[in-house]
Structure 1
Amino acid sequence: MTMNITVFGATGQVGAQVVALLTAAGQDVTAASRGSGVDAVSGAGVDGALANAEVVVDVLNSPTMADDAALAFFTATAANLTAAAKRAGVGHYVLLSIVGVDQLEGGGYVRGKVVQENAVAASGVPYTIVRATQFHELTEVITGSLVVGDEARVPDALIQPIASADVAAVLARTATERPANGVMDLAGPEPMSFADMAALVLAAQGKNLRVVVDPAATYFGTPVHTASLVPRGDAERAPHRLSDWLGAR
């Protein structure tokens, strides 16, 4: 059965893949982005993008990690989109979030994602929050952020990278399913230490840096403990491994 689905953040890394998958499956997709005249921060064009929408897929991401700006972005977009979705009578709001985000003591970006989740859950619109682990595509940036001189100083914690394509596939599937009215966790096939992740990335880059576990190291300024970034209960596991992704580049 064909459904009318609006994707916000439709030109981003995940959003573009979700749009392609849903379109290929025969769904009637509205790809909402600034390029299409939709500004989720100000609310301009949001109601029009939701005309006749049965499902919303929200994969918007803050353009900055700066505390105040990121918090303001998620607060504004969540308020505008949930209010518009309720006005439009949307039957399912699918939100992409982060595994463990509600347990992190982070800056504005992390707090903003929690605000976003809470706004969706309290909106009165049936919803599913899909929390994913860190993307394969981000592991080079993550590793680079941990390099100090000739060392990579990594947190004493686990990470469970997932391919963005696997995240997009689950979001596209979830959009056509009944709302869970709750949270589902989605992760890569296996947890690994930050040290092992950094070693894989550095080897793939041909860099000979020493990897050092540093209890003071953070994840982009957010303190993390052993299980901060990995699912603590049941989670759907995607099939593609980081090592295979790095080797195919």
Structure 2
Amino acid sequence: MKTVVIGGTGLIGSKLMSYLGEHGHEAVAAAPNTGVDTLTGVGLAEVLTGAQVVVDVSNSPSFERSAVMEFFETSTRNLLAAEASAGVGHHVALSVVGTERMPDNGYFAAKIAQEQLIEKSGIPYSLVHATQFFEFARGIADEATDGNAVRIAPVRFQPMAGDDVARVVGRVAVGEPLNGRIETGGPEQFRMDEFFREALAAWHDPRHVVTDPKATYFGTVPGERTLVPGNGATLATTRYRDWLAHNLTRR
């Protein structure tokens, strides 16, 4: 079974390629650096020839509201049209836990638009909603930085390792289409400000965390449960302290 991974050379895409290959599946990475551009459509018809499954784990290069909406709407329309022509039987997309709970957030609104296009396409599909990746924790802290302070809301937070995200997406990709979605998150739930207070200390980062109920998450104030999955979610096994210790050792 040929599976095309859109964004297959990125963080999650490269991990997904490894997962599929290790489990005996034919996987092809599709990204601008492999000659496939979903924004222009260049290379799509060629790479989708003979494909049974397409997994979209691509991401916008800009999180600016209009740019991210343009990216997900244009790339998804082009991708779905090419899949229809190629006879692809399963479209899998990676999305974010909480999209429907924070629609005023520009990135989340763009992911909602992407999902709606997929749901209306007529192509059997599966949506995987994942929580924030451990690998993006520093980026979240940087975005919340004000001078030497990192302003974080005291809301629930349940991040997960990129490897675990790839495993969940991979299992979904080789299964039957859900025509719906599943949620996945890390094994531990934290208060977000406490997580980053401990994380900055572990990073030996001189910034300090300020608990701020009005602090925004990429432009929008999150609710208590905006960023965590609901009951029945698929929980990963990798704990942040273990992941961090392993990754610090590898540096």
Determine the C-alpha separation between the residues in 2 that align with 1:215 and 1:154: 7
1:36 aligns with 2:59: no
**Deviations 1:54-102 (Å, cap 9, x if unpaired)?**
0011001001111111110000011011111122111111100000112
How big is the alpha-carbon RMSD for the aligned residues of Structure 1 and Structure 2? 1.3
Secondary structure class of the residue paired with 2:11: coil
Determine the C-alpha separation between the residues in 2 that align with 1:108 and 1:72: 11
Corresponding residue number in structure 2 for 1:66:
64
Secondary structure class of the residue paired with 1:185: strand
Amino acid at match of 2:152: V
Amino acid at match of 1:239: T
Determine the C-alpha separation between the residues in 1 that align with 2:26 and 2:230: 36
Corresponding residue number in structure 1 for 2:96:
98
Identical amino acids, percent of aligned pairs: 39
Determine the C-alpha separation between the residues in 2 that align with 1:144 and 1:136: 14
Contact 2:183–2:230 (Cα < 8 Å) also in 1: no
**Structure 1-normalised TM-score?**
0.95
Contact 1:74–1:116 (Cα < 8 Å) also in 2: yes
Shift of 1:36: 1.6
Corresponding residue number in structure 2 for 1:224:
222
Corresponding residue number in structure 2 for 1:202:
200
Contact 1:143–1:201 (Cα < 8 Å) also in 2: no
Shift of 1:156: 2.4
Contact 1:156–1:225 (Cα < 8 Å) also in 2: no
Gaps of 5+ in 1: none
1:88 aligned to 64, 86, 89, which one? Answer: 86
**Structure 2-normalised TM-score?**
0.94
Determine the C-alpha separation between the residues in 1 that align with 2:21 and 2:245: 30
**Deviations 1:132-191 (Å, cap 9, x if unpaired)?**
000000111112222323332211211111000000111111111111110100000021
Q: Superposed, which structure 2 residues align to 1:15-54 within 5 Å? A: 15-54=13-52
Determine the C-alpha separation between the residues in 2 that align with 1:209 and 1:107: 26
Corresponding residue number in structure 2 for 1:235:
233
Distance 1:120 1:152, change over 3 A: same
Distance 1:208 1:45, change over 3 A: closer
Q: Superposed, which structure 2 residues align to 1:81-230 within 5 Å? A: 81-230=79-228
Amino acid at match of 1:158: R
| Aligned positions, number | 247
